[in-house]
Structure 1
Amino acid sequence: MTISHVGIQVTDVQQMTDFYLAALKPLGYAKRMEPAKDVIGMGPRFCGPTFWLSPGLDLSKKPDTGEQLHIAFHASNRQKVRDFHAAALKAGGTCNGAPGIREQYFPTYYAAYVLDPEGRNIEAHCMAPAFVAEPVQRNIIFAVSGAIVAAAVYWARTREMF
């Protein structure tokens, strides 16, 4: 079974809502629900809320949140990982690892890390290899594949195989 949703407590709900909505927009996330004051549910398109923010964190009583929590969001391709990283930095996050391959996890693990304004380590990652996960390379592969198929069909037709 997969995890249904994750909720975190924050010190400033509005600031963190603004940050996460901007950072996760490239991954398709938007505000999906606010069932109570300052309780915000976000999720990807065509999905209910999978990521929740609520008030209640008092940083003076807890250790550094970056050491406590790491949240990873799936990205469908590597460009979305790069877009997430740029959007999170623009929204006030701090770079904790530029977009790139992380071979220590898996040979095709492409990820970027950002600390949110309260210090949590958030990540976007894509596991697909570059030839699938990079739009330009994918288009080249489909074009070459299409040309090979077209040549094979032409060859077969000139020999009256069809």
Structure 2
Amino acid sequence: MSAPVRYLLAGIRLALGWIFLWAFLDKLFGLGHETTAARSWANGGSPTEGFLGSAATGPFTGFYHSIAGGWLTDTLFMGALLAVGVALLLGVAMRLAAGAGALLTVMMWTVVLPPASNPFMDDHLVYAAVLVVLALLGAGRTLGLGARWAEAPLVRRSAWLR
């Protein structure tokens, strides 16, 4: 793969990593972009209650309403945002991060069906596909720690950690 392509993929990886990490930080501290400080997770707010509890539409509405604002739902959601964001920014565990990030974004897509601007396609599905492409093409090796990560004994024995 040529150097320009590797750097382009690394830039996309870093951008997506920041998207996930920013969502985590904003929901944790209420930095005022999407979440106010008063509604932040650090101040006792729920990062999932609003979206899952009131924005959910379509065939999975009942399911999402039933898990909205739950301790486990909030913890898993925030953990996924943090883990995927950090892994993408560092370029490590790309297969795991891509799988988790794709699952998370596809689940977020299912919250509001059909999407407002298209019969089925929206940015969540595009993010999921891009995450998988980044992992398959080894985007963590450029401007990241992916090459060093791949040399760790545990990672060499467990391909799914690459």
Name the structure, 1 or 2, with higher relative contact order (CA <8 Å, separation 6+).
Answer: 2
What TM-score comes out, normalization by structure 2 length?
A: 0.29
Query: Greater Rg, structure 1 or structure 2?
Result: 1
What TM-score comes out, normalization by structure 1 length?
A: 0.29
Q: Which has the higher strand share?
A: 1
Q: Which has the higher helix share?
A: 2
